[in-house]
Amino acid sequence: MKLVTYSVDGRQSVGFLVKDQVCDLGKAAKAFKFDIDSGADLVSVAKNEYRDILGKIEEAAQTSLEDDWCVPLSKAKLHAPYRPRQNILIAGGNTRDEFVPQRMRNGKPMLRYHTKAPSAVIGPGDEISWPRQLTTEVHAEPHLAVVIGETASYVEPSEVMNKVFGFTVATNVVAQDLKRKHGQWDKAVSLDTFMPWGPVVVTADEVDVAELACRLWLNERMAISGGAESGLLKTAEVLSELSFGMVLHPGDVVLTGTAESVGHGEVPERWLQDGDVVQSAIEGVVQITNPVSTY
Amino acid sequence: MYLATIKNAAEIIPAFTFGTSVVSIHAAAKALGHSFASPLPATLLEVIEAGPDVWEELEEFYDSLRGSELPGEGRQAWWWNSDEVSFEPPIIPRKNPWVVGANYYQHLANGFARIPRPAIAPPHVEYFTKAVNSIVGHDADIVYDKRVTRTVDFELELAVVIGKYGKDVPVADAYDWVFGYTIANDMSARELQLGHQQYHRGKSLDGFCPLGPVIATTRETGDPNRLRMRQWVNGELKQDWPVGDMIYKIDKLIEVLSEGMTIEPGEVIICGTVPGVGFEQLPQSWLQHGDVLEAEISRIGMLRNTIKMAGIS
């Protein structure tokens, strides 16, 4: 199922995509007599306990789209899926890039886990924006964003993907000079507007993570490209490691690392600037485009 | 006023505290026929989000109770002794608490005594975060798993609770953004903190952000730089230092954090620890199953937690 948070005529609700239509989940559930509280954004249904019921609603909708709960996608405004209830986790340095050496523990690289404040969340089309006097070295990375659907605590890699609700794309916007300035990275990735993500969350049953490609285009030129699992640790290894000691709850979001670093590895360095357009995608699944504007 | 969130008979409610007395705000208002201009929100976080008019009304109600007599007939349903209720974290913020690394020079100097280079103050504020999921309240057990860490350490810190939205807050006005203060123990799994280099995971294991027991509003604390902080482990004094000895003071921390980033009501900034933690000792010493932490800041209160190792009852 492909879920979105969307609005028509200013009224926001949770929807799912069927062909070129977006369907109101709450109204569809009611029409087909399913009991689900769809809330105002999709975090309320991003729970594995709803897997079966969501599947049934989608199946029923395939054959009977009704005008009173479906609109053409072109008439709907799509938003960020939701604002997570705690910071977004980022598997920093999950790359084979030689610029980011990792320490090892028990034969495994120790990734640079850091976080992004949920106040940074924006949706498709929204401006990525920052004060020019604060930072001049902003770059963007495409990430696979994992939406947790079920409480996960001490879960082995072989089991942990069962705790995932779905996937989407996030653009991890980073002020590279603020990373150096503050030493710890959380502030450098948490400026307002630095978390474009979504809009479509695709449920885990529809994709095979190993097959996914993660890409970023800067002004329609492909700048970053690679497998979503081309990093040092696979998605399941990242989630499992985090779950050992750090409980994950439904709605928590993990960015599992970018394919290849860009910007600070290039000579000459190319930082984002006014008028740029950034597009990130999980190829064939979801993409998000945001213009850049400084102030 | 002093504000807490307590659990009484499975109900989680906001409360006033007066020394060791704990009063349910909603139940007291109802019993005494006290009305507010608009219905009081259900949680302390929402009270903070409701803004200064609501805080003022609440403070008037607090003051009207302050002088009154201790529990009498009919009060048992909303007025307790603090050992009769359990304390939840005063608030669960809507983003991770920010923590400032290396913000007291002597802590920094002690910590790096064994490293053959001079300890220098960080050139800028070092902010990391602790997961919202890691927040626990007063008297909660902090349970670690030895598969994950064997180097659990304590760090007593002042926690600032922000009262209103702000971005690019000027340092001269920064204290206007403070709602109040509470106590945090910035629990740390040192091998994870240092091994991952970014501190988040080593600082965010389950239970690693004890917070509370109360929020003291700025009226109660006065100038926070004049407060003193002390921490005992199993009754032995380990940390004892003036709050105001920070390298980057509270107003500067707010100014820099809000550069390009909106700070919000209920946002928590934890200001860094003072000398005396296990990491600084020769040899280094780590917390063990059964250790009791008592973290005190004058004019705020004392936050007590017990260390447990998973698998030991």
Q: Per-residue pLDDT tens for A19-28?
A: 899 999 999 9
| pLDDT score recorded for residue A269 | 59
Amino acid at B8: N
| pLDDT score recorded for residue A270 | 80
Contact B206/A245, CB-based, under 8 Å? yes
Angle at B107 between CA B273 and CA B280, to 5 degrees: 105
What pLDDT band is residue A66 in, cutting at 50, 70 and 90? confident
- Is the pLDDT at B71 greater than 60? The verdict is no
Angle at B269 between CA B239 and CA B291, to 5 degrees: 35
The answer to whether A233 faces chain B, any CB pair under 8 Å, is no
* Cα–Cα distance for residue pair B228/A16, rounded to 1 Å: 55
Residues B169-208 as b/e (b if ≥16 CB within 10 A, e otherwise) read beeeebbebbbbbbbbbbbbbbbbbebbbbbbbbbbbbbb
* Cα–Cα distance for residue pair B282/A269, rounded to 1 Å: 45
Pairing of strands B301-309, B292-297: antiparallel
Interface with A, mutate which of B127, B134, B308 (most A CBs under 10 A): B127
CA distance B298 to chain A (A): 30
Residue in B4, B241, B262 with CA at minimum distance from that of residue B138: B4
Peptide bond just before A268 cis, omega within 30 deg: yes
Q: Per-residue pLDDT tens for B143-194?
A: 999 999 999 999 999 999 999 999 999 999 999 999 999 999 999 999 999 9
Q: Per-residue pLDDT tens for A201-238?
A: 999 999 999 999 999 999 988 888 888 888 889 999 99
The two structure tokens encoding residue A98: 């030689």
| pLDDT score recorded for residue A263 | 47
Which DSSP letter does residue A154 get?
A: S
- Is the pLDDT at B111 greater than 90? The verdict is no
Pairing of strands A70-72, A253-255: unpaired
CA distance A99 to chain B (A): 15
Contact B260/A134, CB-based, under 8 Å? yes
| pLDDT score recorded for residue A267 | 46
CB-count exposure of residue B123 (10 Å: 0-12, 13-18, 19+): exposed
| pLDDT score recorded for residue B148 | 97
ipTM: 0.95
The answer to whether A14 faces chain B, any CB pair under 8 Å, is no
Of A85, A110, A115, the CB nearest to B200: A115
Contact A184/B206, CB-based, under 8 Å? no
Interface with B, mutate which of A133, A156, A187 (most B CBs under 10 A): A187
pTM value is 0.96
Judge whether A247 and A155 are in contact, CB under 8 Å: no
**B206, closest residue in chain A (CA to CA):** A246
Beta strands in A75-187 (DSSP E): 77-78, 88-92, 103-105, 108-110, 112-116, 121-122, 128-130, 138-148, 164-175
| pLDDT score recorded for residue A63 | 86
A170 Cα distance to chain centroid: 4
The DSSP annotation for A187-253 comes to: GGG-STT-EEB-SPEEEGGG--GGG-EEEEEETTEEEEEEETT-SSS-HHHHHHHHHTTS-B-TT-E
CA distance A255 to chain B (A): 14
Rounded (10°) angle between helices B25-32 and B52-66: 70
Collapsing DSSP to helix, strand or coil, A55 comes out as helix
Residue in A39, A40, A34, A42 with CA at minimum distance from that of residue A1: A42
Q: Which residues contact A208 (CB under 8 A, 6 or more apart)?
A: none
Q: Per-residue pLDDT tens for B229-272?
A: 999 999 999 999 999 999 999 999 999 999 999 999 999 999 99
- Taking residues B296-311, report their average pLDDT: 97
Lowest mean pLDDT among A254-268, B5-19, B214-228, B242-256: A254-268
- Taking residues B197-201, report their average pLDDT: 96
> When comparing pLDDT for A98 and B195, which is higher?
B195
Amino acid at A171: T
- Taking residues B36-55, report their average pLDDT: 96
- What is the C-alpha R_g of chain B? 20
Contact A245/B129, CB-based, under 8 Å? no
Of B145, B197, B264, the CB nearest to A245: B145
Contact A131/B168, CB-based, under 8 Å? yes
What pLDDT band is residue B75 in, cutting at 50, 70 and 90? low
Q: Show residues of chain A in contact with B124, CB under 8 Å.
A: 181-183
- Is the pLDDT at B105 greater than 90? The verdict is no
| pLDDT score recorded for residue A93 | 85
Phi then psi for residue B269, to 5 deg, are -120, 120
Of A114, A119, A248, the CB nearest to B264: A119
Interface with A, mutate which of B196, B206, B253 (most A CBs under 10 A): B196
* Cα–Cα distance for residue pair A142/A262, rounded to 1 Å: 10
- Taking residues A262-274, report their average pLDDT: 66
* Cα–Cα distance for residue pair A235/A228, rounded to 1 Å: 8
| pLDDT score recorded for residue A143 | 95
CA distance A223 to chain B (A): 26
Residues A69-80 as b/e (b if ≥16 CB within 10 A, e otherwise) read bbbebeebebbb
What kind and span of H or E run contains A72?
strand A70-72
What pLDDT band is residue A136 in, cutting at 50, 70 and 90? very high
**A118, closest residue in chain B (CA to CA):** B95
Residue in B154, B48, B140 with CA at minimum distance from that of residue B91: B48
Judge whether A173 and A133 are in contact, CB under 8 Å: no
Name beta bridge partners: A108. Answer: A105
Q: Per-residue pLDDT tens for A160-199?
A: 999 999 999 999 999 999 999 999 999 999 999 999 999 9
Q: Which residues contact B240 (CB under 8 A, 6 or more apart)?
A: B228, B229, B230, B231, B274, B276
> When comparing pLDDT for A80 and B123, which is higher?
A80
Q: Show residues of chain B in contact with A249, CB under 8 Å.
A: 133
Average pLDDT, chain B: 93
Of B94, B129, B206, the CB nearest to A246: B206
CA distance A295 to chain B (A): 10
Interface of A with B in 164-223 (CB under 8 A): 175, 181-187, 190-192
Peptide bond just before B41 cis, omega within 30 deg: no
Of A110, A117, A119, the CB nearest to B196: A110
Of A114, A181, A246, the CB nearest to B205: A246
Residues A205-217 as b/e (b if ≥16 CB within 10 A, e otherwise) read eebebeebbbbbb
What kind and span of H or E run contains A23?
strand A21-24
Contact B101/A184, CB-based, under 8 Å? yes
- Taking residues A93-105, report their average pLDDT: 74
Angle at A90 between CA A85 and CA A94, to 5 degrees: 160
Of A112, A182, A192, the CB nearest to B260: A192
